[in-house]
Amino acid sequence: MPAQVVLGAQWGDEGKGKLVDQLAADADWVVRFQGGNNAGHTIVLGEQVLKLHQLPSGLTNPDCQCVLGSGMVVDPWVLAEELETWQESSGEAPLGKRLWISERAHVNLPFHRLYDGADEKIGTTGRGIGPTYRDKIERVGIRFCDLDSKRGDQTWLDESAARMSTQLAARGVEGTITSLELKESLDWVADNFGHAVAPTGLMLDLALRQGETVLLEGAQGCLLDIEHGTYPFVTSSVTSRANASHGAGIHPGHIEEVFGVVKAYTTRVGNGPFPSELFDDAGAHMGSVGHEFGTTTGRPRRCGWLDLVVLRHSNRLNGFTDISLTKLDVLGGLDELEIVVGYELDGVLISEMPSNMDDLARVTCRTETLSGFPAIPLSEWLELARKANADGAGFAALPTGAREYVEKVEAWLGIRIHSVGVGPDREATVYRA
């Protein structure tokens, strides 16, 4: 069976977790392939709200195997808290039974969190993700498969603790890391997670050759990609399709379906240029009705109109076969809706994103205006979605203004819209007829 990929097409927070949760119902494996606990997925199961940071969204399917891939940087302490919460909620302890950690994934240590917490420029989550990836690139990091050898190597422990302490001091962070503290951390990780560390790339390759279904789950979004995002206001990993298979340990030829998740408007958390950002009542409406606060940090998200320039950039990098449009319900109640169709830079109309952030900060948006549609209670959206899917009505069941908005977005992008989200519940999704 081919592999499927779910990716964020904007600056993250598009609602990927909900789509992965839906697709995972038919998947044998779900894999997180990059990032760490700087990501957050919210899944709503009736009255139950799950906030996952490292655990793959496929955990909600009891028949699904889940993998933290080699492209991830894993914080074992946060993972332990998530697993405890999951066990309290579900009664299940999946670690080492159907939850596996790639032997090649890097360990996010307390040092990395201390170092990252001093950031004041980029607006990171402060969870140690960037410093862990930095150590990976500098070839001084520690992978899960290295735990046993490193914790028994006193020379390595002494040198690593000294390096970490020097870097903290240079960052202006009080305190030091001792070799004993470092060893105790590694001992704890090995003792608690060693039984779940596995050659997951080999496991996934075998699963695919046996005809099983593998779903690759991205974190953050395309515009936060370290290489093709709004650098330097980005995350520390490659968030795009090119890394999906690589960060899972399989080859890209397995991938045939790529779902780009697109919020019906645009949001971002943290610093950096955001051309379509709104500071008026419409932006306040999106933030309030959409409950736009970061899953991981709780920070308010900046809100703006849907930006087709961003999405064209994202599609060029990822080659989406389908779009999942989310949170359309949030736009209900606005008299008029705008969609950004291009930028103007120094009097020149452009249709692609500038790579230089000073230029991106200076663009003005060219927009097309559409009629709005009335606000509808979430309970009515949910009932509309259930009936539309049961009857096979598809997008024709949407209110007139909402349907026209979907049709315009699909026509402008030239990509098939697979589904439209109209509420947080997993059933509040209208599928294409």
DSSP string computed for 272-332:
S--TTB--SHHHHHHHHHTT-B-TTT-PBPEEE-EEHHHHHHHHHHH--SEEEEE-GGGGT
DSSP symbol at 130: H
Catalytic residue chosen out of the listed positions 13, 75, 116, 322: 13
Alpha carbon separation from 189 to 116, 142, 159 (Å, rounded): 20, 12, 20
How do 41-45 and 48-52 pair as beta strands?
Answer: antiparallel
Asked if 13 is an active-site residue, the reply is: yes
The answer to whether 213 and 10 are in contact (CB under 8 A) is no
How many angstroms separate the CA atoms of 231 and 248, rounded?
Answer: 25
* Residue carrying the six token digits 């298979």: 245
For residue 94, the one-letter residue type is P
Tokens in use for 265? 């408007």
Catalytic residue chosen out of the listed positions 28, 41, 225, 313: 41
CB atoms within 10 A of CB 156: 18
Asked if 280 is an active-site residue, the reply is: no
Cβ burial 281-316 (10 Å sphere, 16+ → b, else e)? ebbebbbebbebebbbbeeebbbbbbbbbbbbbbbe
The answer to whether 180 and 163 are in contact (CB under 8 A) is no
User: Of 432, 425, 426, 424, whose CA–CA distance to 388 is shortest?
Assistant: 432
- Active centre residues (catalytic): 13, 41
